[in-house]
Amino acid sequence: MSRDPHLPLRRRQLLAALAATGLAPALRAQPAGKPVRIVVPFTPGGSSDILARAIAPRLQQALGVNVIVENRPGAGGSVAGGEVARADADGSTLFMGHLGTLAVNPAIYPRLAYDPLKSFTPVAYVAKVPNILVVPAASPLRTFKEFIDAVRAQPGRFTYSSGGNGSAAHITMELLKLRAKLFLLHIPYRGTAPSINDLIASQVDTTFTGSTVVLPHVRAGRLRALAVGSAQRIAALPEVPTVAESGIAGFEADQWYGLVAPAGTPAAVVSRLNAEVNRALALPDVMEQFAREGAVPVPTTPQAFGELIRREIPRWAEVVKAGNVKPD
């Protein structure tokens, strides 16, 4: 490789390393000097936003271009998904997809602006985020059993919030309602942050959403955790039982998040982006930040992430049908 004196030392070193690993074509395929957008389909403050902003500066440093996080809320993430699906397939636009946008939306929106399997190329599985069932600190309900007993005793009396119809919190609670035979009223909000604010103020009774959003409030004493939706207890809240061990056998519902690019993005670009995301996820400060948020990094291949999306679509379609979930 020829040495260009105008390139910074770090960039020359990176080029040399990429040449040795066969990833140099990906760097050449990346648009020179063109910023990379990570489009987040929800308002700031939710799990998608938190995770995107955690990895964006690391990608910026590695790629040598500005990496910008853009929040594009609307229609359960469909607005952002459609925009990314139509973007240039050159690696300059990425979508922070998740359970709702990539697996649930096809069952909710009959005229979805994108097809999760055909409109996108999987890039990187970023994180798995356990869902936590929480109530306001002022709530008299202190255990999962007390919650179940109270809801069953007064069907329709209790309300739960979510970031919108079809959001991960909505679908997770619908799964719990289905498995535990509960009836709660859904109060959708335009974003996770306002739904949590009203929960803290006791305007609603509960929510069942990602740890990245609720953990700070649990630690601050504003919310009380009753159970986690993952298969095992989480390190951030070791004293809080899982839903499965609390009596709903086999229950498991984690949120998952990952980056996809428009279909047709060159394989070399996808490989480069996947490698850099995986490197970012292995950095001690990123791992520490994810641990504080209760998120679990999942570095893997684009193909493995694509298989996850493919498996999850039929699973959540059943929940959507059973809960009669409709779009906003």
pLDDT tens per residue across span 219-253? 999 999 999 999 999 989 999 999 999 999 999 99
Q: In terms of Cα–Cα distance, which of 134, 180, 133, 189 is closest to 155?
A: 180
Q: Where in the chain is the domain with CATH 3.40.190.10?
A: 130-228
The amino acid at 16: A
With a CB cutoff of 8 Å and minimum separation 6, the contacts of 165 are 76, 108, 186, 188, 325, 326, 327, 328
Question: Quick one: DSSP state of residue 206?
Answer: B
Q: Please check whether residue 261 is in contact with residue 85, taking contact to mean a CB–CB distance below 8 angstroms.
A: no
Q: What percent of the chain has pLDDT over 90?
A: 76
Tell me the pLDDT of the chain averaged across its residues.
Answer: 89
Q: In the prediction, which pLDDT does 275 show? A: 97
CATH top-level class of 130-228: alpha beta
For residue 9, count CB atoms less than 10 angstroms from its CB and return exposed for 0-12, middle for 13-18, buried for 19 or more: exposed
Helices (H), 203-297: 211-219, 267-281, 284-293
pLDDT above 80: residue 7 = no
Residue keyed to tokens 């356990």 = 130
Q: What angle do CA 179, 225, 208 make, to 5 degrees?
A: 45
Tell if the pTM clears 0.85, that is, is over it.
no
CB-based burial label for 180 (10 Å; 0-12, 13-18, 19+): middle
Residue type at 311 in one-letter notation: R
Which tokens go with 310? 């493919």
pLDDT at 49 over 80: yes
Is 12-129+255-323 CATH 3.20.20.70? no
Instruction: Judge whether residue 212 has pLDDT over 80.
Output: yes
Answer for the pair 223, 214: CB distance below 8 angstroms, yes or no.
yes
| Chain region(s) in the chain for CATH 3.40.190.150 | 12-129+255-323
Torsion angle in degrees (nearest 10) through CA of 215, 217, 223, 228:
-10
pLDDT at 266 over 80: yes
